[in-house]
Structure 1
Amino acid sequence: MSPNLWRFNKKKAQPFRVPFEQIQTHGPFAEQILKYCQQANKRDLIILCVGTDRSTGDSLGPLIGSKLEILSLQHFHVYGTLEYPVHAMNLADRLAEVNSKHDNPFIIAIDACLGQEVNVGSLTIQEGPLHPGAAVHKNLPKVGDIHITGIVNVGGAMEFYVLQNTRLHIVMSMAESIAQSLYLADQQISSSTTTSPTIQTVFQYTPTDMKNV
């Protein structure tokens, strides 16, 4: 679980953010992912999904990882799934594994975060490392050349309780959107044309009452 750091550091460039009402539209988010990947200069592209299936609010990362496994990406290596999550207890070991298997990898770190109520359900992507565990006061290694976060609930107090009482519908909806955006970016890397392929959404959702957390 990462903090919603962009709200507090005004000197950094603002992240690209997709409001909750637009998360079912994958194209703009996929384009931002693609722009960052094009700067990787042929480095191995790694998607590191951080989180645990033992907490509803913190399960965003492993849910995305499991969805990406099914989608069989061509250009990304995925770490962190529901079966084999990357979490606080094994993060350092999994990072060592990534670095041993890939020479100078370009890492896209993904995690859930807490934020303002008005932003619950939103997705962000930003250059720079992720600070996993900071929202719940854990001192974990920073990770990622860029990072993607999904704001799953309201932060500020009793973070562990808030995470345990986050609506699964919110987390599943955001996981679907991020996974489909990454899949679309993967297809665009493969494509020799400028036409974006059509993506079949794995399950349907309507962002109607996601704010009622």
Structure 2
Amino acid sequence: MNLKDKFSKEERRVNIEEPAMSETLSLHLNDWLPHSREVVIACIGTDRSTGDSFGPLVGSMLEDQHLKTFHVYGTLEHPLHALNLKERIELIYQVHTDPFLVAIDACLGKASSVGYVVLGQGSISPGSALKKDLPPVGDVHISGMVNVCGFMEHVVLQNTRLHTVMQMAAKVAASIKIADIERHKKRVEIPPFSTIKRNTFKKKRA
């Protein structure tokens, strides 16, 4: 659970009430993802708190989608939370070569921002809303604004409506699925360089 009370010009904000919210977020996300690196989705949070379950909900929804171009860590069954975050992020960098991390986490902010999903460049600071000292995570991040900050954040998280969190998680998961489909299409449409070179060489010999 991170904290955000200011927004930068580089960030992209979409509201879960927008009809094309998932499509819009997927376009922004694919604009920022590198084509030549492995992409890892790190879904941060815990199922022990309604407000902080946004990340693991997204992870569980994505786990059922059989994504072709993304690797997903952090689900309701195996959450990526304060107690294991550091070691599991280290594991990700051991398993994947030069991964590009997309960090997904719930966020507290202003009342006017609740219901928005924010896509931003750079890392987030998980646990900052609860004054926890955790390592920053992500090359880009997706923050779901689930509730307001400023007073008794633990209580606020426990009293966040599950419907809001579920709705937000479903739309973010849908946007990532759309982005995955588009990335896979491009990989199929554009053959590897070695294949192009081999076919060109064959034509010359013929």
Q: TM-score range by the shorter chain?
A: 0.7 to 0.9
Per the TM alignment, residue 192 of structure 1 is displaced from its structure 2 partner at its CA by: 4.3
Aligned with 2:160: secondary structure?
A: coil
* Whole-Å separation in 2 of the counterparts to 1:93 and 1:83: 17
CA RMSD of aligned residues (A): 1.5
Corresponding position of 1:187: 181
- 8 Å contact from structure 1 (residues 111, 150) kept in 2: yes
Per the TM alignment, residue 135 of structure 1 is displaced from its structure 2 partner at its CA by: 0.8
* Whole-Å separation in 2 of the counterparts to 1:24 and 1:94: 34
Q: Which amino acid aligns with 2:18?
A: Q
Q: Which amino acid aligns with 2:29?
A: I
Hey, which bits of structure 1, 4+ residues long, moved more than 6 A? none
Corresponding position of 1:43: 37
Aligned residues: 187
TM-score scaled by structure 2?
A: 0.87
Per the TM alignment, residue 5 of structure 1 is displaced from its structure 2 partner at its CA by: 5.1
- 8 Å contact from structure 1 (residues 114, 152) kept in 2: yes
Corresponding position of 2:200: none
Higher helix share: 2
Cα 1:140–1:80 shift into 2, 3 Å: same
Q: How does 1:26-105 map to 2 (within 5 A)?
A: 26-37=22-33, 40-105=34-99
- 8 Å contact from structure 1 (residues 67, 176) kept in 2: yes
Per the TM alignment, residue 90 of structure 1 is displaced from its structure 2 partner at its CA by: 0.3
Q: Aligned to 1:147, which of 141, 149, 155?
A: 141
Per the TM alignment, residue 131 of structure 1 is displaced from its structure 2 partner at its CA by: 0.7
Corresponding position of 2:199: none
Per the TM alignment, residue 169 of structure 1 is displaced from its structure 2 partner at its CA by: 0.3
Q: Which amino acid aligns with 2:15?
A: P
Larger radius of gyration: 2
* Whole-Å separation in 1 of the counterparts to 2:68 and 2:97: 18
Task: List alignment gaps of at least 5 residues for structure 2.
Answer: 188-206
Aligned with 1:162: secondary structure?
A: helix
CA shift digits 1:27-59 (9 cap, x unpaired): 11000110111xx24111000000000000000
* Whole-Å separation in 2 of the counterparts to 1:155 and 1:174: 18
* Whole-Å separation in 1 of the counterparts to 2:115 and 2:60: 20
Corresponding position of 2:115: 121
Corresponding position of 1:16: 12
TM-score scaled by structure 1?
A: 0.84
Per the TM alignment, residue 190 of structure 1 is displaced from its structure 2 partner at its CA by: 1.5
